[in-house]
């Protein structure tokens, strides 16, 4: 197929050609970036927390009437006891925060007491001897906390644990060339000895700005005596619903001087996860929706304009057919024409896509668009163009040679 | 004549219903996506206090020095207690208040009811006049009561309804945890959005606070902040509440009202002088580093408009643009197909102006239909906006008369604009050419 005649014919349809090319270019630029955002968001959704999320329940408790630290210590011990006796509860512990909770405490972890010379930030989780089994964490080295190592920490007291458990990612970052077990790290003015390493435990935050140290967590052996406490409860397999329905009443029955929100005071971990990623899921839905509709609109636009061109050129098609062109030739003519326009469109669109991405990167701290996205988008739009032009082209190929003799 | 053209347009549109439906839907979807994301964007980027925003300022003082920012982090967006108290003592603004978010539990007198959680703010007397907080009953407290650490409280209309059935509760007692407070004022419904005075704690779009009580009193009762405590750059601290107050942790928000540019300039130099004084005294070991943001600058600095909202709006507008390019193409096809008809009309004496009118009228019909489709789809968008944005933000977006008008107007104007080139082509059809070939 010679493209010379196709190009010559296109010169007579400058406006239409330009419009389709521009539309393809803009579509490519937008779809590439939208799908890139979708992918980034979905990738975040699928990051593992390192905990066994099934059968897990969290309870947000706030003491009423401002009990003092001693009172809170015994109230908390009583609560843990109450929770343990709820039928279906396998294990429980009290903490300040848990993965995906979107609130907690971050600390600098370093090799010296100098706070400004820390190696990395890390999430600090208050933990006791039941934390590992409740969360289902995998201990890959060392040991768990002992019950007698768990300290009580008054509200504004200073965190300076004698022993800590690190995540493997944090341990690797602190001690890249040697085992971290038994070594001191500094999260306060005094050293804390690493007694255990867990495979993985995500920080509470899903925020992009903290993604760099998302797997850096440190477990500190404390019960924190502040009015607000989170209880993390593991239900026996299959008993999660039972436990969820009964824990609030059980705690209130034991002591009603407390607030556990009736609305979201008791949440399964599935609900925690859903809330944490609502924003990401929403963006993924919106961007995929826009991409799909945009491709449909562009496809429909190509069908519309091509049909018009076919209608306009019925006579010329008839002449060509009368002069010996086969149906196949006519079909190929329109497919080639569309391919040329689409090729010009995707060439501009590829540049636009990268430009848009660079701009978004500057404005919104986005990552660099992979060239795979652009290539994939180019292929998709070329295919879309060919697919869209197929029906009008087939109609054109069915124009009979006798058309050449009509209406002259 | 225009009515006639509109009727003609309608007829012509009915001739190829598929093409027409395509144009209408494309415009409808494009305008709906743009309007839905715009409604959300408008809600989160609104100026919460338009009359006063240029007179309200947030001072920033670097309490940690450049070393704490080696990892790229910013100067903390709150003040240390020490600095906030120094600014309060000096009172260099017309009005000023230190603020921090706090919460309590409220134990109802009726023992059959469960205690519940209330959240609010610790602030100074200037808070209310500074931020134009409206009162249903009573008023705020005065500066003397700040100095006296008075146990008074201002409650929200919502809490007043809940506790006192909406009656005037001024003078009555409110028990928050283990302390009694005398109610001096009940606010009318008041919830500026974004909640500018607490955006540094990510609380920009929550329900209104239940209570506001004197900062001095809140510190006396050792009530901890409910917001962020930024301690990164601090080298340890002494234990206990006093150690916390003296520490380098940044957790106090500060707002100052400055009536004009000269006052703002004076305050800037005062801040710089204050920080320099701290350096001289040996508390800071770095050259003074201070800033003063006005309200709108502060909202921008704190990125109150989530990036996701901005990106959604931008991509939706891009989407609308493609829909319009699509419409230009389809209208061009549609109009040029009728070159013969145009030729006849022109030959029978219709001027170019008449052709212009006829085809723009036809485009306007498409625009109106697209607008109506867009309106329906925007309605769908508003209902499902909760799927895409966080609930606190999603509930701010709602259909208003303005939005309905804007949707229709956008669709109409955009379509007519898109029709300009196809119409121009139609108006320049050569009658002789067309007549010859028929």
Task: Decide: helix, strand or coil at residue B223.
Answer: coil
At A250, list the tokens: 């059980």
Give per-residue pLDDT as tens, B205-260: 888 999 999 999 999 999 989 888 887 655 567 778 888 898 888 999 999 999 99
* Chain B, nearest residue to A249 by Cα: B114
Closest to B37 (Cα-Cα) out of B406, B298, B414? B406
* Strand partners for A165: A196, A219
CB A169 within 8 A of CB A95: no
Task: Provide the strand spans (E) within B225-303.
Answer: 250-257, 290-294
Task: Answer whether B19 touches A (CB < 8 Å).
Answer: yes
Q: How far apart are CA B210 and CA A132, in angstroms?
A: 39
The DSSP secondary-structure symbol of B208 reads: P
Q: How far apart are CA B203 and CA B283, in angstroms?
A: 32
Domain spans in chain A, listed from the N-terminal domain onward: 4-45+279-405, 65-256
* Chain A, nearest residue to B18 by Cα: A304
Task: Answer whether B74 touches A (CB < 8 Å).
Answer: no
| H, E, C per residue of B346-415 | HHCCCCHHHHHHHHHHHHHHHHHHHHHHHHHHHHHHHHHHHHHCCHHHHCCCCCCHHHHHHHHHHHHHHH
Q: How far apart are CA B424 and CA A217, in angstroms?
A: 66
Give per-residue pLDDT as tens, B403-437: 899 999 999 999 999 999 999 998 888 887 776 65
ipTM (interface predicted TM): 0.82
Q: How far apart are CA A10 and CA B207, in angstroms?
A: 61
Closest to B320 (Cα-Cα) out of A361, A351, A23, A33? A23
pLDDT in tens, chain A (408 residues): 577 888 888 887 888 889 999 999 999 999 999 999 899 889 888 889 999 999 999 999 999 988 999 999 999 999 999 999 999 999 999 999 999 998 888 888 999 887 777 888 899 999 999 999 999 999 999 999 999 999 998 877 778 899 999 999 999 999 999 999 999 999 888 899 999 999 999 999 887 777 888 999 999 999 999 889 999 999 999 999 999 999 999 999 999 999 999 989 999 999 999 989 988 888 898 899 989 999 999 999 898 888 888 888 888 899 989 898 899 999 999 999 999 999 999 999 999 999 999 998 888 777 888 888 899 999 999 999 999 999 999 999 998 888 877 754
Domain spans in chain B, listed from the N-terminal domain onward: 2-45+306-436, 53-301
pLDDT at position B15 is 81
| Environment class of A351 (CB within 10 Å of its CB; exposed 0-12, middle 13-18, buried 19+) | middle
pLDDT at position B202 is 76
Task: Answer whether B383 touches A (CB < 8 Å).
Answer: no
Best mutation target among A105, A119, A156, A227 (most B Cβ atoms within 10 Å) is: A156
User: Residue A37 — φ and ψ, nearest 5°?
Assistant: -65, -45
Task: Decide: helix, strand or coil at residue B3.
Answer: helix
Q: How far apart are CA A120 and CA A60, in angstroms?
A: 29
Of B114, B236, B319, the CB nearest to A189: B236
Between positions 308 and 327 of B, the ones with CB within 8 A of A are 308, 310-312, 315-316, 318-319, 321-323, 325-326
Q: How far apart are CA B344 and CA A218, in angstroms?
A: 83
Q: Name every chain A residue with its beta carbon within 8 A of the beta carbon of B67.
A: 116
Q: How far apart are CA A112 and CA B331, in angstroms?
A: 72
pTM of this prediction exceeds 0.90:
no
pLDDT in tens, chain B (438 residues): 778 888 888 888 788 788 888 889 889 999 999 998 898 898 888 899 999 999 999 999 999 888 877 777 788 999 999 999 999 999 999 999 999 999 999 988 777 888 999 999 999 999 999 999 999 999 999 999 999 999 999 999 999 999 999 999 999 999 999 899 999 999 999 999 899 999 988 778 888 999 999 999 999 999 989 888 887 655 567 778 888 898 888 999 999 999 999 999 999 999 999 999 999 999 999 999 999 999 999 999 998 888 888 888 998 999 999 999 999 988 988 888 888 888 888 888 888 898 899 899 999 999 999 999 999 999 888 888 877 777 777 777 778 888 899 999 999 999 999 999 999 998 888 887 776 655
pLDDT at position A305 is 86
Q: How far apart are CA A254 and CA B287, in angstroms?
A: 57
Work out whether strand A139-142 and strand A191-198 pair parallel, antiparallel, or are unpaired.
Answer: antiparallel
Q: How far apart are CA A365 and CA B183, in angstroms?
A: 47
Q: How far apart are CA B218 and CA A246, in angstroms?
A: 36
Residue with tokens 């809940």: B162
CB A124 within 8 A of CB A220: yes
At A278, list the tokens: 């609502």
pLDDT at position B388 is 77
Give per-residue pLDDT as tens, B352-389: 898 899 899 999 999 999 999 999 999 888 888 877 77
Q: How far apart are CA A295 and CA A283, in angstroms?
A: 18
Best mutation target among A104, A290, A362 (most B Cβ atoms within 10 Å) is: A290
Answer left, alpha or beta for residue B390, where phi above 0 means left and psi between -120 and 50 means alpha.
beta
CB A48 within 8 A of CB A200: yes
| Environment class of B321 (CB within 10 Å of its CB; exposed 0-12, middle 13-18, buried 19+) | middle
pLDDT at position A408 is 44
Q: Name every chain A residue with its beta carbon within 8 A of the beta carbon of B328.
A: 19
Which residues have CB under 8 Å from B72's CB, separation 6+?
Answer: none
Residue with tokens 């824990």: A247
């Amino acid at each position: 197929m010679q493209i010379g005649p196709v190009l010559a014919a296109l010169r007579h349809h400058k406006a239409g050609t330009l419009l389709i090319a521009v539309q393809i270019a803009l579509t490519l630029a937008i779809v590439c970036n939208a799908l890139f955002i979708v992918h980034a968001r979905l990738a975040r959704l699928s990051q593992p927390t390192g905990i066994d999320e099934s059968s897990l329940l969290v309870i947000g408790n706030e003491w009423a009437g401002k009990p003092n630290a001693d009172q809170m210590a015994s109230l908390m011990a009583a609560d843990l006891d109450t929770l343990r006796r709820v039928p279906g509860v396998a294990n429980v512990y009290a903490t300040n925060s848990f993965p995906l909770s979107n609130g907690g405490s971050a600390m600098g972890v370093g090799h010296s007491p100098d706070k400004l010379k820390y190696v990395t930030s890390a999430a600090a989780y208050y933990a006791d001897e039941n934390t590992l089994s409740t969360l289902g964490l995998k201990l890959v080295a060392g040991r768990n906390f002992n019950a007698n190592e768990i300290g009580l920490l008054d509200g504004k007291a200073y965190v300076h644990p004698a022993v800590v458990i690190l995540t493997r990612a944090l341990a690797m970052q602190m001690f890249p060339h040697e085992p971290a077990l038994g070594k001191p790290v500094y999260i306060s003015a005094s050293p804390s000895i690493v007694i255990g390493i867990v495979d993985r435990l995500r920080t509470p935050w899903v925020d992009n700005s903290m993604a760099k140290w998302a797997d850096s967590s440190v477990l500190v052996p404390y019960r924190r005596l502040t009015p607000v406490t989170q209880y993390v409860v593991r239900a026996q397999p299959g008993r999660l619903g039972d436990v969820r329905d009964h824990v609030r009443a059980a705690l209130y029955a034991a002591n009603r001087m407390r607030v556990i929100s009736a609305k979201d005071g008791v949440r399964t971990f599935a609900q925690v996860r859903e809330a944490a990623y609502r924003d990401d899921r929403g963006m993924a839905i919106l961007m995929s929706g826009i991409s799909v509709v945009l491709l449909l609109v562009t496809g429909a636009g190509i069908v519309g304009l091509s049909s018009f061109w076919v209608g306009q050129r019925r006579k010329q098609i008839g002449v060509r057919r009368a002069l010996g062109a086969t149906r196949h030739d006519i079909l190929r003519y329109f497919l080639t024409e569309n391919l040329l326009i689409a090729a010009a469109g995707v060439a501009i669109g590829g540049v636009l896509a990268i430009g848009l991405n660079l701009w978004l990167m500057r404005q919104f701290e986005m990552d660099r668009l992979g060239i795979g996205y652009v290539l994939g988008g180019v292929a998709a739009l070329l295919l879309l163009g060919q697919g869209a032009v197929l029906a009008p082209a087939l109609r054109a190929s069915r124009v009979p040679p006798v058309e050449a003799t009509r209406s002259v | 004549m225009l009515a006639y053209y509109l009727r003609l347009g309608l007829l012509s549109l009915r001739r190829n219903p598929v093409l027409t439906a395509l144009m209408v839907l494309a415009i409808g979807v494009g305008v709906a996506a743009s309007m839905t994301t715009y409604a959300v964007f408008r809600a989160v980027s609104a100026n919460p206090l338009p009359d006063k925003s240029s007179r309200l300022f947030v001072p920033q003082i670097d309490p940690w020095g450049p070393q704490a920012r080696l990892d790229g982090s910013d100067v903390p967006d709150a003040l240390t207690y020490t600095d906030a108290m120094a600014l309060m003592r000096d009172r260099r603004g017309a009005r000023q208040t230190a603020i921090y978010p706090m919460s309590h539990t409220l134990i109802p007198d009726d023992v059959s009811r469960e205690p519940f959680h209330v959240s609010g703010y610790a602030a100074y007397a200037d808070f209310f006049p500074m931020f134009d907080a409206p009162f249903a009953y009573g008023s705020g407290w005065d500066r003397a009561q700040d100095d006296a650490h008075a146990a008074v409280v201002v409650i929200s209309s919502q809490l007043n309804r809940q506790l006192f059935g909406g009656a005037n509760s001024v003078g009555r007692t409110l028990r928050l945890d283990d302390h009694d407070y005398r109610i001096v004022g009940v606010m009318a419904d008041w919830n500026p959005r974004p909640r500018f005075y607490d955006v540094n704690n990510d609380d920009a779009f929550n329900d209104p606070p239940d209570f506001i009580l004197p900062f001095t009193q809140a510190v006396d009762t050792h009530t901890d902040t409910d917001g962020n405590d930024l301690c990164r750059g601090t080298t340890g601290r002494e234990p206990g509440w006093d150690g916390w107050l003296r520490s380098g942790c940044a957790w106090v928000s500060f707002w100052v009202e400055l009536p004009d540019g000269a006052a703002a300039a004076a305050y800037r130099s005062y801040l710089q002088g204050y920080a320099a004084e701290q350096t001289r005294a040996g508390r800071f070991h770095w050259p003074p580093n201070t800033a003063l943001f006005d309200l709108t600058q502060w909202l921008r600095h704190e990125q109150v408009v989530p990036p996701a909202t901005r990106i959604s709006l931008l991509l939706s507008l891009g989407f609308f643009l493609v829909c319009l390019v699509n419409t230009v193409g389809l209208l061009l096809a549609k109009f040029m197909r009728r070159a013969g008809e145009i030729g006849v009309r022109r030959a029978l004496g219709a001027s170019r102006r008449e052709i212009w009118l006829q085809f723009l009228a036809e485009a306007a019909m498409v625009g109106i239909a697209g607008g109506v489709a867009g309106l329906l789809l925007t309605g769908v968008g508003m209902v499902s906006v909760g799927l895409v944005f966080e609930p606190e933000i999603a509930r701010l977006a709602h259909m208003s008369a303005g939005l309905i008008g804007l949707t229709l107007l956008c669709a109409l104007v955009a379509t007519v604009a898109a029709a300009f080139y196809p119409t121009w082509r139609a108006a320049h059809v050569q009658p002789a050419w067309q007549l010859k070939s028929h």
